[in-house]
Amino acid sequence: MPKRSKKHTEALKKVDREMRYDPLDALELTVASSHVKFDETVDLAVRLGVDPRHADQMVRGTVVLPNGLGKDVKVLVFAKGEKETEALNAGADFIANDEMVEKIKDGWFGFDKAIATPDMMGTVGKLGRILGPRGLMPNAKTGTVTFEVDKAVKELKAGKIDFRVEKAGIIHAPVGKVSFGAEKLLENTKAFLNMILTLKPASSKGTYLKGITVSSTMGPGIKIDPALIK
């Protein structure tokens, strides 16, 4: 069993592991429990009453967090001609020209998200085995295969996240940094959970939001009462 630091032990003492907290209280406790020198990411784990093995119960979507993620998202765009210029004007960090494609094949991954115009998917497809396992493959379902390059780049830069339910019926997603403070984290959390509620499958029966846990990178998990989510 790994040895816990004194600060981590003190942080655990602040949390009632059995209690389900009000969302704001849980986030305040998450911020207060941070005990490391770096700015921790705050994550949500949401357990849903769905069976992802059935296609009609797959929950997948995107949401733009109102306060962003607290990090500079590096965006690479597969585009040419006018769309290349549009991407750069919107704030894209890299354009996937032939030289850049070769760099990716050689193992370069200096970007966080990738966007592609539909006419470039032939090129992107050749990198599928490289980009796919790293979650970097552009996808029409998440709005990253589109001719609306300006909008796509700006949304990713502003803190757009994509999410999908895992086999166990759980969705994991970041909602910001500890330095945001509880109020801004709450705004991001509301946006994320509201989107999940919007995506509830018609075939999902019984309780949809079964459990919600918030935690910082190195902090304890704190339960949020799903009954208080509206």
Last residue of a domain, one of 126, 141, 157: 157
**pLDDT confidence tier of residue 198, bands split at 50, 70 and 90:** very high
Which pLDDT score, from 0 to 100, does residue 229 have?
Answer: 83
Mean pLDDT computed over 147-173: 93
Q: Are residues 143 and 210 both part of a single domain?
A: no
Identify the CATH number of the domain in which residue 99 sits.
3.40.50.790
Query: How does DSSP assign 173-213, residue by residue?
Result: EEEEEGGG-HHHHHHHHHHHHHHHHHT--TT--S-SEEEEE
- Mean of the pLDDT values across residues 27-32? 94
Residue numbers of the domain that contains 109: 75-157
Alpha-helix residue ranges (DSSP H) falling in the chain:
6-13, 23-32, 82-90, 98-105, 121-125, 128-131, 149-158, 182-198
Show the CA angle centred on residue 126, arms to residues 123 and 128, nearest 5°.
Answer: 115
**What band does 17 get if pLDDT is binned at 50, 70 and 90?**
confident
On whether both 130 and 167 belong to a single domain, the answer is no
Helix, coil or strand: residue 172? strand
For 116-140, the pLDDT digits (tens) are 999 999 999 999 999 999 989 999 9
Selection from 25, 49, 72 nearest residue 189 by Cα: 25
Question: Which one has a higher pLDDT value, 35 or 160?
Answer: 160
If one counts the domains in the chain, the total is 2
Q: How much is the average pLDDT of 200-224? A: 92
Note whether 82 and 189 are same-domain residues.
no
pLDDT at residue 5, as a whole number: 57
pLDDT at residue number 15: 74
Are 222 and 21 spatial neighbours (Cβ–Cβ below 8 Å)? yes
What phi, psi does 164 have (nearest 5°)?
-155, 150
Which of 16-20, 35-39, 99-103, 118-122 is least confident?
16-20
Query: What pLDDT was estimated at residue 1?
Result: 44
3-state secondary structure of 27: helix
- How high does pLDDT run on average in the chain? 90
Check pLDDT > 80 for residue 4: no
pLDDT tens, 43-81?
999 999 999 989 999 999 999 999 999 988 999 999 999
Give the per-residue pLDDT at 6. 58
More confident of the two residues 42 and 6:
42
CA distance 109 to 105: 10
Q: Do 100 and 148 lie in a common domain? A: yes
pLDDT above 70 for 174? yes
46 occurs within a structural domain = yes
- Is residue 145 within 8 A of residue 119, CB to CB? The reply is no
Single-letter residue type at 68:
G
Q: Is residue 10 part of a domain?
A: no
In a domain, 125, yes or no: yes
Domain limit, last residue, from 127, 157, 187: 157
Please count the other Cβ atoms lying within 10 Å of the Cβ belonging to residue 74: 16
8 has pLDDT over 80? no
Which of 74, 82, 80, 78 lies closest to 112, judged by CA? 74
> How far is the CA of 22 from the CAs of 15, 100, 129, in angstroms?
13, 47, 43
Arithmetic mean of pLDDT, 95-119: 93
